[in-house]
Amino acid sequence: MPISIHSSHMASEHLERYRDIIPDFDAFLDSMSRPLPVTVRINTLKTSAPELLSRLDRAGVGYERMRWYPLGLRLDVEKPGRLMEFHMGLIHVQEEISMLPPVVLDPLPGERILDLCAAPGGKAAQMSMQMSNRGLIVANDSSSARIVPLRANLERLGAVNTIVTSYDGRRFPEYTFDRALVDAPCSSEGTARRHPGVISRCSVKRSMDLQSLQVSLLRRAIQLTKPGGVVVYSTCTFAPEENEGVVSRVLDLADVESFTVPGLRSSPGLPSWNGNDYGEELVKCRRYYPHENDTGGFFVAKLRRRLSAGE
């Protein structure tokens, strides 16, 4: 079909802008055209890894455990949403790399956590589990249409320590959180393995428009976090404008911290791009490319609010 040839041509043309920053670029392009493995997270609010694995063994469902995350599984099924274990809330279908931001944020039982862009809720439910259903997660999303799946996921997964709100995150009301997650709206280039059409909608202009929204969301989240508290900023795009370009604009409020996740390959953040100088500390952010771990693409920055932050 001419249309798909045209759009895939446009797709790789847009991705060409990353040839100099993505290592082993041809392997990257190659992996972008392959479908994603089916991955699920074990929900320890309702089960344990041994219980779930023995159910899968008995049902004859093949699986492979993720090296970097003991609760992550790659499943050998086409439709995980038809498994009993899904309807029991024992597992959640969640892309492997999207299990990472909550691991970096590391919310503790009893803390107060803000999830500023939460729908459809995979990460909020994961945090609820990390916190053993204690403390508070405010799962916020400005899209009223997406509040429905957000609530449904939280309920199926048994998240009791959650409230759902629907503010525009840029104007989220005053409160003090221990930590915050900003899993921002973005151009989603990193989801192309699941949604091949996304790349054809991407452009530098679109990324720059998103950047101003992302900066406002991230600044608000930092202001709502206690001094010394951790804020994680993540996107599923490669565009530096939406990643390092955003983080570089909050350095008056927060410092970037390095982090490592054993078993997961990654590349450093970019200190500069296309003539923009983002700052040397931006190398502490991590970029996750599809061919590094056979996942979608992601960007994660771990920030810590300054003790005396100017607003």
Partner 1 sequence: MSRSSAEGFQPVNKDTVVSMWRERFGISEDVFKGFGFFRRGRMIWAFSLPEIPPFRCESIGMRVISMRESPWKPTTYALQLWGRHARKNVIDLNDEMARRFFAGESLELRAQVERGYVVVTHMGSVIGCGLYTPGKLISQLPRERRILDDQNAPEHHAQPGDTQQDGTE
Ligand X SMILES: C[S@@+](CC[C@H](N)C(=O)[O-])C[C@H]1O[C@@H](n2cnc3c(N)ncnc32)[C@H](O)[C@@H]1O
Question: Does residue 141 touch ligand X according to CB under 6 A?
Answer: yes
Active site residues: 236
Question: Does residue 214 touch ligand X according to CB under 6 A?
Answer: no
Residue 124 beta carbon to partner 1: minimum distance, rounded to whole angstroms = 12
Kindly identify the residues of this chain, within the stretch 184-203, that bind ligand X according to CB under 6 A. Answer: 185
| Contact range with ligand X by CB under 6 A, out of 35-43, 121-129, 221-229, 261-269 | 121-129
Q: What is the spatial distance between Cα 247 and Cα 301, in angstroms, rounded to a whole number?
A: 8
Residue 88 beta carbon to partner 1: minimum distance, rounded to whole angstroms = 6
Question: Does residue 183 touch ligand X according to CB under 6 A?
Answer: yes
Q: Which does 87 bind (CB under 5 to 8 A by kind): ligand X, partner 1, none?
A: partner 1
| Contact range with ligand X by CB under 6 A, out of 10-18, 81-89, 168-176, 288-296 | 168-176
Main-chain phi, psi angles of 177, to 5 degrees: -105, 155
Residues making contact with partner 1 (CB under 8 A): 45-47, 51, 55, 58, 82, 84-85, 87-90, 133-136, 138, 147-148, 151-152, 154-156, 158-167, 173, 175
Q: Residue 59 or residue 148: which is nearer to ligand X going by CB? A: 148
Question: Does residue 162 touch ligand X according to CB under 6 A?
Answer: no
Question: Does residue 156 touch ligand X according to CB under 6 A?
Answer: no
Question: Does residue 245 touch ligand X according to CB under 6 A?
Answer: no
Question: Does residue 102 touch ligand X according to CB under 6 A?
Answer: no
